[in-house]
Structure 1
Amino acid sequence: MNRWVSTSEKAAFLQWFLKNHRLKSREARTILDYLVNHLHVLEHITFTSTLPASGKTIVISSMQSDEPGFVYYDQAKKSEDPSKVLGEFMAHPTVKRNLMIHFYGSHIHTSYQQLIQTPIKEQFQNYKRFKGYEQVTQSVLEKVQKDTDRATLLTQIDQALDERNEAKFKELSLLLKEMDQSSK
């Protein structure tokens, strides 16, 4: 998604999540409660579905997830200490951070999917990939159309032969010859 996500939308989702899911890490609940109660910090949180190569990312999982209960990535450093995150929230509330939440059905949960903000680079890569798919599909469709037109013309030529219609046979044969030459 490339839309702006309001702090109230983020807070409403986190409240729903805390109400409906048990977390693997009790301390992770403290982090989410902190975010819900400190909207100035939540304002700088970006929900993500992929782990960015750089930046600060908090990963929290519910009991139904196979992922670890809590992990914090700060650039290349990995930590499983939630108190470090709370300390950073208090010391640097305006730092941009990513939040990834794992729970059963997250990939189809519309409220969560609307919060996820896809980086522009990933959107551009998707655009390029789908443009390539479009070109391949277009060339396949053109080939199928040419093959269908040729098969129809051959059927018409056979019919002209069966009817012993020499004029129609010559006309269709010329069309077939032109079609074959244009496809080379």
Structure 2
Amino acid sequence: METSISNKDKKTFVRWFLKRFDLKRRECVWILNYIIGDDDLLNHVHFVEDAHYCPRAIVISTTESNGIPFRFYKGNIMTADAEKSFHDLRMNNEEAMYIQLNFPKQPPTEQYLAVLEENPFMPSYMQISSEDKQVAQKMLSKSVYEFQHSKLLQQIDAALDNGDKEQFFELTAALQQLEAELAQS
């Protein structure tokens, strides 16, 4: 799998991550530091979600997350032994390695989004199609419009009740702008 994410961006992210979060297992700090210290290995590292679907993966969790502390997956083997994963990293640095980091991501940080890749091994039934994304976006836009429209109507009614002409004109202009934006989309 080719990636357009530079090693510099990956290193920046991992350093930011290690400064910001405490990990459930201290061996994970060693593993991440080892990875960013080896550019050949780092070329083959991909940060993804749901790494357990990947043929070779590591899952690392921070103390602030509910995730498992550590898991290493290779083929049909799964282990919580960090030494085995470290040995595998040293011996097979030409193989793709997928890393899932469990940490608070709400809202997602730009550092994380800069290195996050789509998981190529995600089962198709779990992937969101572009059509589904468009439908969801339309539903969200409609919901936001309806909320804003309703709120403006309430505020216009309140301005009329209070006899506030200036507020009334400002709100009706805002309502017209909102309706014009809807017509353009």
Q: TM tier, shorter chain?
A: 0.5 to 0.7
Displacement of 1:75 in angstroms is 2.3
Percent identity, aligned pairs only? 21
Q: Which residue of 2 aligns with 1:47?
A: 47
Gaps of 5+ in 1: 138-184
Task: Determine helix, strand or coil for the equivalent of 2:85.
Answer: helix
* 2:41–2:93 Cα contact (<8 Å) kept: yes
Residues 82 and 17 of structure 1, relative CA distance in 2, 3 Å threshold = same
Give the superposition deviation at 1:90. Answer: 1.3
Q: Which one-letter code corresponds to 1:19 in the other structure?
A: K
* Equivalence map 1:112-151=2 (5 Å): 112-119=112-119, 125-130=128-133, 133=135
- Once residues 127 and 81 of structure 2 are traced to their aligned partners in structure 1, the CA distance between those partners, rounded to angstroms, is 35
Distance of aligned partners of 1:87 and 1:118 in 2 relative to their CA distance in 1, 3 Å threshold: same
Residue number in structure 1 paired with 2:32: 32
Radius of gyration: which is bigger?
Answer: 1
Q: Quick one: which amino acid aligns to residue 27 of structure 2?
A: E
**2:83 alignment counterpart:** 83
Aligned residue for 2:129, secondary structure, equals helix
Q: Is the 8 A contact 1:5 1:115 kept in 2?
A: yes
- Is residue 15 of structure 2 the alignment partner of residue 12 of structure 1? no
Tell me the amino acid that sits aligned with residue 130 of structure 2: Y
Residue 59 to residue 52, structure 1, CA distance change in 2 (3 Å): closer
Cα 1:130–1:18 shift into 2, 3 Å = closer
String of CA shifts for 1:79-135, please: whole Å, max 9, x gaps. 10111111111111111010011112365112102211114676984214236x38x
Give the equivalent residue in structure 2 for 1:92.
Answer: 92
Partner in structure 2 of residue 60 of structure 1: 60
Superimposed CA distance per residue, residues 114-169 of structure 1 (whole angstroms, 9 cap, x where no aligned partner) = 211114676984214236x38x97xxxxxxxxxxxxxxxxxxxxxxxxxxxxxxxx
SS of match in other structure, 2:59: strand
> RMSD in angstroms over aligned alpha carbons?
2.8
CA contact (8 A) 2:58 2:99 kept: yes
Distance 1:3 1:35, change over 3 A: closer
> How many residue pairs align between the two structures?
135
Any runs of at least 4 consecutive aligned residues in structure 1 with deviations exceeding 3 A, and if so which? 119-125
- Give, as a single letter, the amino acid of the residue that structure 1 aligns with 2:31: I
Quick one: distance in 2 between partners of 1:106 and 1:86? 30
Structure 2 length-normalised TM: 0.64
Q: State the partner residue of 1:103.
A: 103
Cα distance in structure 2, aligned partners of 1:19 and 1:129: 37
Distance 1:106 1:85 in 2: 29
In 1, the alpha carbon distance for the partners of 2:14 and 2:130 equals: 31
In 1, Cα distance between equivalents of 2:8 and 2:65: 26
